[in-house]
Structure 1
Amino acid sequence: MRSEPLLATEPPAPVRDIGELYAIAFTQTETAAQRYGKLAAAGDEAFEPVRCVFEALCLRENERAEAIKEACIAAIGRAPTQADLRWMPIDLVPAEELSDLKNSLLSTAYSAWALAVRHRERAFIFWTYVAARAETGIVRATAESMAREALRDGNLLRRERRLAWRAERREALAGDAPAATELSSAALFESLLLKDIFRWSQEAPAPQRRRLLSLIGDGSQAPPPEADALPHTEAIEEIKRRALRYAEHLSSIYLDEADKAVDQSRLELAQQLAARSIARLADLRSIASLPR
């Protein structure tokens, strides 16, 4: 089971309004454009194949920033500003990742496109979290739209990555043949997770219980047959921790499956499962942080 989190830091608070959401998106996109732009202007002749990738990525991010600005003006009558931010937007394109690629003697166009794919996956995860924690419909809908855009963009970048792989290896993409998948284990983890969520709900206060049961599609408030033997507080805390581990692992499985998908239908299914799983993880973490 993976130990690293899907995001180094989760959004620290729900996004308050649409102005704040656009300010976050604009800041993240400008940062990405600046960092990609530095690599597009850096390096010697040997870096040329990689530099071309970052020139394209810089252009894409500048276009995205302009689109975000226009959408913000259409929504609230003005461009996004730093004054709308209540917390520092999470870095979707960490400088250290780009530095590692720039300084590596093994950097290729393929590794550059692969890094860009990870950045858009990170954006998808971030906006899915924002949507899951949104307190207003317009913020939720706009965050979901940004998550879908990150998925679409990630699909385009994956195609570029495959082309780069073929060009570098001069043979068919190794992943073109159906690969072994972790989806076969996902059903087991889903079953274990749902069981733990139900056990967790039985010791939770009524509002939390309803939220937990809604995650497993069980609106019943009737006690289970073993209600007289529910675990003590220590056991419940362990159930919470285990449920969160299962939920995060499932999100990782679905994201990995999307990354390895070799046809559109498989990709779309994995992306849908990933979006649902990440939203569920965000809900579980939110519930776990509430006082009992």
Structure 2
Amino acid sequence: MRNEPLLTVAPLTSVSSLAELYAIALFQAETASTRYQQLVASADPSFVPVRRVFEILTQIDRERARTIILGSLASLNKRPDSADLRWTPTDIVPADELSDVVNSSLSTAYDAWALAVRHRERAFVFWTYVASLATDRGVCAVAEDFARAALQDGSLLRRERRLAWRSLSESGRDGGTPVSEPDSAALLESLLLKDIKLWSQQLTPQQCDVLSKLMPSPLPPASEPQEDIADAGTLDQIRRRVLQRAEQLSELYLEEADRAADEFSLELAQKLAAQSIARLARLRDVASAASVRPS
């Protein structure tokens, strides 16, 4: 079954107002509830457990839409309006993923819950991007609230997914292939920081200042000898490695959150994921704006 990448849901540009923010949020919630409801109507009656999951998800997103409307009324004294949209909101519930589940005779309630978890992870990534790119404090604060809500929703959905997996295991189904050992986050962070140091040699002081504030591994002050940039590849190669490793780390922290066995591990992984996604957004900004000196 298809899984669309989580880190390709960045907004096309920064969100400039609360009116635009609420319009995006309502569009996404209504799109999700509509697509879930369509699956309830079209699913084979024999897949009762799968249908039931999508019925629940439909109600969850309808309630989310109502909450968004109330938030907009409280903040702006008006309902979210699609006229405030400057671009088509990012799709966090891809139709292809949903159709794969409903059209497969092998789909189970576990598959449906797992997909729902992924959708809320995608929402978390999207709203974290929005918050990190926002220049308006109000937009940033509400986007962070939406990101936290996505995390809380994800935790509840993971519980349902675990119960469905337990039920599936007890019924005698094969547990599937083992998950391969993940890359070392510590090693990737070290390699990323090394490349950021090299990259910073070709950036403006203002851009270096941005890099010095990136968590969880900010660029340190330039107080130690720097490696010769010529020994590490071209500037373009270094820039590509920076973005690739930053994206790998964001995916890795999201996967760690998904596998967390206790609340402490989950909260730590989610914090690192949020920081890493915000870092990736800033690095992409710097990469697109950087003026490269002639070699």
Check whether TM > 0.5: yes
Q: How does 1:165-204 map to 2 (within 5 A)?
A: 165-170=165-170, 182=182, 185-204=184-203
**Structure 1 position 213, deviation (Å):** 2.4
Q: What displacement does 1:47 show?
A: 1.5
Alpha-carbon offset, residue 225 of structure 1:
2.4
> What CA distance in whole angstroms lies between the structure 2 residues aligned with 1:74 and 1:265?
34
Q: Could you tell me which amino acid in structure 2 is paired with residue 48 of structure 1?
A: V
Counterparts of 1:171-250 in structure 2, within 5 Å, are 182=182, 185-215=184-214, 216-218=217-219, 220=221, 222=222, 224-226=224-226, 229-231=228-230, 235-250=234-249
* 2:130 match: 130
1:65 is aligned to 2:48: no
Q: CA deviation at 1:42?
A: 2.5
Distance 1:62 1:125 in 2: 21
Verify the 8 A CA contact 1:198 1:212 in the aligned structure 2.
Answer: no
Q: SS of 1:266's equivalent?
A: helix
Distance in 1 separating the partners of 2:257 and 2:160: 15
Q: Distance in 1 between matches of 2:203 and 2:285?
A: 13
Q: Name the CA distance, whole Å, in 1 between partners of 2:65 and 2:219.
A: 42
Quote the residue 2:272 is aligned against.
Answer: 273
Distance 2:83 2:206 in 1: 35
Match of 2:111 in 1: 111
CA drift of 1:223 comes to 6.5
> Contact 1:50–1:107 at 8 Å: present in 2 too?
yes
Which residue of 2 is the match for residue 91 of structure 1?
91
When the two chains are superposed, the root-mean-square deviation of aligned CA atoms in Å is 2.3
Aligned pair in 2 of structure 1 residues 256, 27: CA closer, same or farther (>3 Å)?
same
Q: C-alpha offsets along residues 149-203 of structure 1, whole Å, 9 cap, x if unaligned?
A: 101100000000011111122179x99xxx88537x1101101111111111111
Runs of at least 5 residues in structure 1 that lack an aligned partner in the other structure: none
Residue 155 in 1 paired to residue 155 in 2?
yes
Q: Give the deviation of 1:218 after TM superposition.
A: 4.5
CA contact under 8 A between 1:197 and 1:213: conserved in structure 2? no
Q: For the residues of structure 2 that align with 1:232 and 1:186, how far apart are their CA atoms?
A: 24
Q: What amino acid does structure 2 have at the position aligned with 1:281?
A: L
Whole-Å separation in 2 of the counterparts to 1:162 and 1:252: 21
What's the offset of the Cα at 1:207? Answer: 1.4
Write out per-residue CA displacement over residues 5-39 of structure 1, whole angstroms, 9 at most, x where no aligned residue: 53334211000011100000000000000000111
Matches within 5 A, 1:9-88: 9-88=9-88
Equivalent pairs, count:
283
- Unaligned regions of 5+ residues in structure 2, if any? none
1:101 alignment counterpart: 101
Letter in 2 for 1:254: Y
| Per-residue deviation, 1:219 | 6.1
How big is the shift at 1:224?
4.5
- AA matched with 2:260: A
CA contact (8 A) 1:255 1:270 kept: yes
Using the aligned pairs only, state the percent identity.
Answer: 54
